[in-house]
Amino acid sequence: MKLLGYWRSSAAYRVRIALNLKQLNAEQISVHLVKNGGEQYSEMFSQLNSQHLVPAFIDEDEQGEFSLTQSMAIIEYLEEQYPQAAILPSTAKDRAVVRAMSQSIACEIHPLDNLRVLQFLVKEMGVNEEDKMKWYHHWIHLGFKALEIQLSKTAGKYCFGDSPTMADICLIPQVYNAYRFNVDLSQYPNIVRIWNECNQLPAFAQAAPEQQHDVS
């Protein structure tokens, strides 16, 4: 089992948390998204993921070694293949609620604020640093305002009840990035409280970017 990622990648961060919650060991292989023009464009990595995005995940079955891409698909695979320490609830309705919260982060907030979008704004659109930050903060606030309302209905200790789920796995990397870019989160008490709760768990703390071998 191998995880090809980058220490600061939100998507790779999600998968690291899921692996830790399920107590699965994966070899961590660094794909530096900035060095040498971006190692995600190397021939080796392009064969694993033609989208040139991390993470890529490698596992094996009776037919041999295979690779998967897209963090949400990888996390769903881990949940199905390694059901210990479930990260989705037991009923179809509750699983749908958790998936919806997860996707509101992974599909609505993160893609607008990820590295390649920010690089395009600066390099191709000529956006200055102040306007780039305005862009970043806008999409975080838009997504977090809606999520805060949702959490007021579903949260216990964590996003959905009192056990960490896929929703927490998606939320924590996004909050990490919000703090990194100096977003004021004081108006989101549920999100901040869950951030603090999750980071008391070794599975989350050990997955943090600063704890990775390729931190730079």
Which domains are seen in the chain, by residue range?
Answer: 2-85 (3.40.30.10), 92-203 (1.20.1050.10)
The dihedrals phi and psi of 162, each to the nearest 5 degrees, come to -110, 15
Query: For 55-72, what is each residue's pLDDT tens digit?
Result: 999 999 999 999 999 999
Written as six digits, the tokens of 128 are: 């200055």
Query: Of residues 65 and 49, which shows the higher confidence score?
Result: 65
Q: What is the pLDDT of residue 49?
A: 86
Q: What is the pLDDT of residue 44?
A: 87
**Burial of 136 from C-beta contacts in 10 A (0-12 / 13-18 / 19+):** buried
Helix 189-198 vs helix 129-154: angle between axes, to the nearest 10 degrees? 80
Distance CA 181, CA 137 (A): 8
Written as six digits, the tokens of 190 are: 């549920």
**Burial of 139 from C-beta contacts in 10 A (0-12 / 13-18 / 19+):** middle
Q: What is the pLDDT of residue 128?
A: 97
Query: For 1-25, what is each residue's pLDDT tens digit?
Result: 999 999 999 999 999 999 999 999 9
- Is 172's pLDDT higher than 90? yes
Instruction: State the Cα torsion 32-3-69-179 to the nearest 10°.
Output: -60
Q: What is the pLDDT of residue 160?
A: 98
Please state the rounded mean pLDDT for residues 158-179. Answer: 98
Q: What is the pLDDT of residue 37?
A: 87
CB 121 within 8 A of CB 135: yes
Q: What is the pLDDT of residue 36?
A: 84
3-state secondary structure (DSSP) of residue 92? helix
Q: pTM for this one? A: 0.95
Q: What is the pLDDT of residue 129?
A: 95
Query: For 89-124, what is each residue's pLDDT tens digit?
Result: 999 999 999 999 999 999 999 999 999 999 999 999
State the pLDDT confidence band at 143, using cuts at 50, 70 and 90. Answer: very high
- DSSP 8-state assignment for residue 55: -
Please state the rounded mean pLDDT for residues 120-141. Answer: 97
Helix 166-180 vs helix 129-154: angle between axes, to the nearest 10 degrees? 150
Q: What is the pLDDT of residue 108?
A: 96
